[in-house]
Chain A
Amino acid sequence: MSVSRKDVKVIATLAQLDLEDHAAKSYIQEMTDILAMIQKLQQIDTSKIDPMPHPQDIQLRLRSDELTEPEQRSELQSIAPSTEKGFYLVPKVLD
């Protein structure tokens, strides 16, 4: 199984990466190698093993429904590149 140039471009777009053409070429090889390794793993018979959603055998910790976070806007906005009237400003989203 090999990765095409188009696959790499799609993955880059999803990851919001602007990929130069020559970089894409090296990724094709790297990703093909990764898939080869995964294919090897898939040869192992896992039909009798439950899927493992988390590497550790632990449960989700739950907290009670209490307000523990007071307003902290000015502190958080002091490190934001751009804010106005309490909003974070980002480049215009056309949608």
Chain B
Amino acid sequence: MSDWESVIGLEVHIQLATRSKIFSGASTEFGAEPNNQACLIDVALPGVLPVCNLEAVRMAVKFGIAIGAGINRKSIFERKNYFYPDLPKGYQISQYQIPIVVGGTLDTVVDGSVHTVGITRAHLEEDAGKSLHDEFPGATGIDLNRAGTPLLEIVSDPDIRSAQQAADYMRRLHRLVTYLGICDGNMQEGSLRCDANVSMRPRGQEELGTRTELKNINSFRFVEKGIITEIDRQIDVLESGGTVIQETRLYDPIRNITRPMRGKEDAQDYRYFPDPDLPPLVLSEEFIDSVRTDFPELPEQRKLRFMTQFNLSEADAAQLTQSRPVADYFESALDHADNPKGVANWINGELSSYLNKEGIDISDSRVDPDALGQIVANVDSGVISGHGGKILLSILWEKPKLSINEIIESENLRQDSDSGTIEALIDEVFAAEPEQVQRLKDGNQKLIGFFVGQVMKKSRGKADPKLVSDIIRKRIRS
């Protein structure tokens, strides 16, 4: 049995978060009624002309800058010709010979080891529509709402060496484009779609083996599982003396196999040529500078800022900046509570457990950052205890409309922090336990816990335990 090395390159399509399409003024919003967002240009009536969306160009440049790529001052839109009903023009407008972004890198980290993946290129193109094959007897239904949605296709070098690296690459790309604000990152709605080229070669061999292309592996988990499955298949083929055929395959997650896509392979000749409707896309230095100046904070920078500005540990800062929504949530909550460490603990602890239980993202949290900040502030100022804060969060999670003060009153969560009342309770407890008081005064510090407990019991849990212990200490010193 030989020692095999897998060689993987990924092509990731990200949907750019523009309001309108790349070549028309129709909306890109997800979930509209079929064809409600397909205008004259999107349905490709004869005689219409595409006009390019500046924002899509800006987003592509932003991505290029973020990965340290070159930005072509002149790039070309071309026609990629193929026949399919959800592509009414008969060609897709894409970039081929001269794309807008060339080069750059993205680092992956698997099991603590950093591996740099080169980016070959990133180019702008339009998405196709959607075909429904099962809805109408004897016919295929076409919805052109998605036709013309701007895509950035990001092509990696064949630098990836394992399925785990591939999944990590995709996660980091997802994090980057959502941080940049150029993609909403919604995997269910297809905002990030991945194809993988996979080939095997004996370790140490320079020459590449025959590759297959795995289509539409659109979740982090399926990228990893799909590639593992394809690697195993190719090794089986090669070790039984067969040859890998260059073809397009699909991953079937239910049966955990990959299988060849039917047909279409023979006539793949896209006959690219420059689109005469679209002269070269020329970018000025001023334009590129303006994108550079207006640059959002990236994950690593934000992590470092959280460590210095908020005095957080690297672990806390890393966890908070893992996704932009979490980092945004954290900073919003801080508007209400001047306690970064406390807010971080509440987000990474209590709140996370609620989110995980329901399997939802922080952007869909039923408790918003304002409310969480107020909970922390109330605990910090001693209005409620930490335990009371947890009760408050659990009630708010079920009934997010309620006001925090209402819950504090209705659930009787307010701690007694009136020192007069507490003094009186301590008097009662001291009077009931004279021997223990003497031992405490003789220096048995362990008894402080006992007395705090007694006072808390008498207050029915409403006294602030820290205040109680402070007063007891003061009393025995005097």
Question: CB within 8 Å of B: which residues of A?
Answer: 10, 13-14, 16, 53-56, 58-69, 71-73, 76-77, 82, 84-93, 95
CB-defined interface of B266-292 with A at 8 Å, one 1/0 digit per residue?
010101001010111110000000000
Within 8 A of A (CB), among B245-284: 262-264, 267, 269, 271, 274, 276, 278-282
List of 3 A-B pairs having minimum Cβ-Cβ separation, nearest first:
A68-B25, A87-B141, A65-B55
With a cutoff of 8 Å between Cβ atoms, the chain B residues found around residue A72 in the complex are 39-40
Closest B residue to A59 using CB positions = B282
With a cutoff of 8 Å between Cβ atoms, the chain A residues found around residue B52 in the complex are 60-63
With a cutoff of 8 Å between Cβ atoms, the chain B residues found around residue A88 in the complex are 35, 43, 141-142, 144
With a cutoff of 8 Å between Cβ atoms, the chain A residues found around residue B36 in the complex are 71, 73, 86
- 16 CB contacts below 8 A, A to B, read A13-B267, A16-B83, A54-B274, A58-B279, A63-B54, A65-B20, A65-B53, A76-B40, A76-B45, A82-B139, A85-B135, A88-B144, A89-B142, A92-B133, A93-B85, A95-B264
User: Which residue from B20, B33, B140, B279 sits with its C-beta under 8 Å from A90?
Assistant: B140
With a cutoff of 8 Å between Cβ atoms, the chain B residues found around residue A86 in the complex are 33-36, 143
**B51 interfacial by beta-carbon distance below 8 Å:** yes
- Chain B interface bracket (under 10, 10 to 19, 20 to 34, 35 or more): 35 or more
With a cutoff of 8 Å between Cβ atoms, the chain B residues found around residue A58 in the complex are 279
With a cutoff of 8 Å between Cβ atoms, the chain B residues found around residue A82 in the complex are 139
Q: Is B267 in contact with A54, judged by CB distance below 8 angstroms?
A: no
With a cutoff of 8 Å between Cβ atoms, the chain A residues found around residue B83 in the complex are 14, 16
CB-defined interface of B1-39 with A at 8 Å, one 1/0 digit per residue?
000000000000000001110001111000001111111
User: Which residue from A59, A67, A77, A92 sits with its C-beta under 8 Å from B35?
Assistant: A77
CA distance A56 to B276 in the complex (A): 10
CA distance A56 to B143 in the complex (A): 36
Closest A residue to B59 using CB positions = A65
Assess A87 versus B20: contact at CB under 8 Å? Given A13-B267, A14-B271, A54-B274: no
Question: CB within 8 Å of A: which residues of B?
Answer: 18-20, 24-27, 33-41, 43, 45, 51-57, 76-77, 81, 83-85, 98, 131-133, 135-136, 138-144, 262-264, 267, 269, 271, 274, 276, 278-282
Q: For B40, B53, B77, B140, which residue has the most chain A Cβ atoms within 10 angstroms? A: B140
With a cutoff of 8 Å between Cβ atoms, the chain B residues found around residue A87 in the complex are 34-35, 132, 135-136, 141-143
**Minimum CB–CB distance for B456 against chain A, Å:** 60
**Minimum CB–CB distance for B24 against chain A, Å:** 6
**Minimum CB–CB distance for A46 against chain B, Å:** 16
With a cutoff of 8 Å between Cβ atoms, the chain A residues found around residue B138 in the complex are 91-92
Q: Is B140 in contact with A59, judged by CB distance below 8 angstroms?
A: no
CA distance A91 to B279 in the complex (A): 35
Q: Is A92 in contact with B140, judged by CB distance below 8 angstroms?
A: yes
Q: Is B19 in contact with A66, judged by CB distance below 8 angstroms?
A: yes
Closest A residue to B18 using CB positions = A65
Q: Is A85 in contact with B40, judged by CB distance below 8 angstroms?
A: no
Q: Is B281 in contact with A60, judged by CB distance below 8 angstroms?
A: yes
Q: Is A54 in contact with B35, judged by CB distance below 8 angstroms?
A: no
Assess A56 versus B25: contact at CB under 8 Å? Given A67-B20, A92-B133: no
**Minimum CB–CB distance for A34 against chain B, Å:** 15
With a cutoff of 8 Å between Cβ atoms, the chain A residues found around residue B98 in the complex are 53
Q: Is B38 in contact with A73, judged by CB distance below 8 angstroms?
A: yes
CA distance A10 to B274 in the complex (A): 22
With a cutoff of 8 Å between Cβ atoms, the chain A residues found around residue B55 in the complex are 64-65
**Minimum CB–CB distance for B37 against chain A, Å:** 7
CA distance A64 to B282 in the complex (A): 16
Q: Is A60 in contact with B279, judged by CB distance below 8 angstroms?
A: yes
Q: Is A68 in contact with B20, judged by CB distance below 8 angstroms?
A: yes
With a cutoff of 8 Å between Cβ atoms, the chain B residues found around residue A61 in the complex are 51-52
CA distance A14 to B268 in the complex (A): 9
CA distance A95 to B261 in the complex (A): 9
Assess A69 versus B263: contact at CB under 8 Å? Given A59-B280, A89-B141: no
User: Which residue from A10, A62, A69 sits with its C-beta under 8 Å from B57?
Assistant: A62
User: Which residue from A53, A59, A69 sits with its C-beta under 8 Å from B26?
Assistant: A69
Q: Is B40 in contact with A84, judged by CB distance below 8 angstroms?
A: no
CA distance A65 to B56 in the complex (A): 8
**Minimum CB–CB distance for B8 against chain A, Å:** 26
With a cutoff of 8 Å between Cβ atoms, the chain B residues found around residue A90 in the complex are 85, 139-140, 142
Closest A residue to B263 using CB positions = A95
Other A-B pairs beyond A63-B54, A65-B53, A69-B41, 12, CB < 8 Å = A14-B83, A54-B279, A55-B276, A63-B25, A64-B55, A65-B56, A67-B20, A71-B36, A73-B38, A84-B136, A86-B143, A92-B140
With a cutoff of 8 Å between Cβ atoms, the chain A residues found around residue B276 in the complex are 54-55
